[in-house]
Amino acid sequence: MIKIGVELGERSYEIVLGTGILHQIGEVMKSMEVSGKTAVVSNTTVFPLYGAPVVDSMKDAGFEAFPVILPDGEEYKNLDVLTRLYDELLGIGLDRKSAVIALGGGVVGDIAGFAAATYMRGIAYVQVPTTLLAQVDSSVGGKTGIDHAAGKNMIGAFWQPKLVWTDSETLRTLPERQLLAGMAEVIKYGIIRDKDLFGYLELNRERILSRDDETMLYLIRRSCGIKAEIVSKDERESGLRAVLNYGHTIGHAVETVTGYTRFLHGEAVAIGMLLEAELAARLGLLSSAEVEKIRGLIESFGLPSGIPDDIDSSALLSSMQLDKKALGGALRFVLPERIGKVRIQTVATKELMRLFRD
List residues binding its own copies (CB under 8 A): 35-36, 79, 83, 86-87, 90-91, 93, 95-97, 114, 117-122, 143, 145, 148, 150-151, 153-158, 236, 321-322, 324, 326-329
CA dist 321 and 323 (Å) reads 6
The residue type found at 200 is Y
172 touches 258 (CB < 8 A): no
Residue 211's closest CA among 184, 183, 187? 183
How far apart CA 203 and CA 65 sit, in angstroms, is: 43
Cβ-contact 109, 132 below 8 angstroms: no
Q: How far apart are the first and last CA of the chain?
A: 49
Catalytic residue among 10, 33, 121, 350: 121
- Rank residues 48 and 259 by Cβ distance to its own copies and give the closer one: 259
Question: Cβ of residue 96: shortest distance to its own copies, in angstroms?
Answer: 6
Q: How far is the CB of 85 from its own copies (least distance, A)?
A: 11
Q: What minimum distance in Å lies between the beta carbon of 317 and its own copies?
A: 14
Catalytic residue among 227, 235, 278, 282: 227
User: Given 74, 77, 143, 276, which residue is catalytic?
Assistant: 143
| Smallest distance from its own copies to CB 2, Å | 29
Cα dihedral 177→332→328→144 (10° resolution):
40
d(CA 228, CA 10): 15
Cα angle at 190 between 187 and 193, to 5 degrees? 140
Decide if 204 is catalytic.
Answer: no
Is 27 among the residues known to form the active site?
A: no
Q: Is residue 143 among the annotated active site residues?
A: yes
Rounded distance, CA 47 to CA 170, Å?
A: 11
* DSSP-derived secondary structure for 223-283: HHHHHHHHHHH-TT-SSGGGGGGTTHHHHHHHHHHTTTTSS-HHHHHHHHHHHHHHHHHHT
Interacting residues of 149 by C-beta distance below 8 A, sequence separation 6+: none
H-run or E-run covering 174:
none
Spatial separation of the C-alpha atoms in residues 183 and 271, rounded to whole Å: 13
293 catalytic? Reply is no
Which lies closer to its own copies via its Cβ, residue 52 or residue 120? 120
Residue tagged active-site, from 74, 88, 152, 245? 245
Active-site residue 185, yes or no? yes
- Catalytic residue, candidates 162, 188, 222, 241: 241
Q: How far is the CB of 110 from its own copies (least distance, A)?
A: 11
Nearer to its own copies (CB atom), residue 326 or residue 344: 326
Least distance CB 11 / its own copies (angstroms): 11
**Which amino acid is located at 335 in the chain?**
L
Of the pair 44, 83, the CB lying nearest its own copies is at 83
252 is annotated as an active-site residue = yes
Question: Would you say 207 or 324 has its CB closer to its own copies?
Answer: 324
Nearer to its own copies, 26 or 53 (CB): 26
Q: Which is nearer to its own copies, 16 or 123 (CB)?
A: 123
CA distance 47 to 68: 9
Q: Determine which one of 88, 237, 278, 290 is catalytic.
A: 237
The CB-of-211 to its own copies minimum distance in angstroms stands at 33
Q: Residues with catalytic annotation?
A: 121, 143, 185, 227, 237, 241, 245, 248, 252, 265
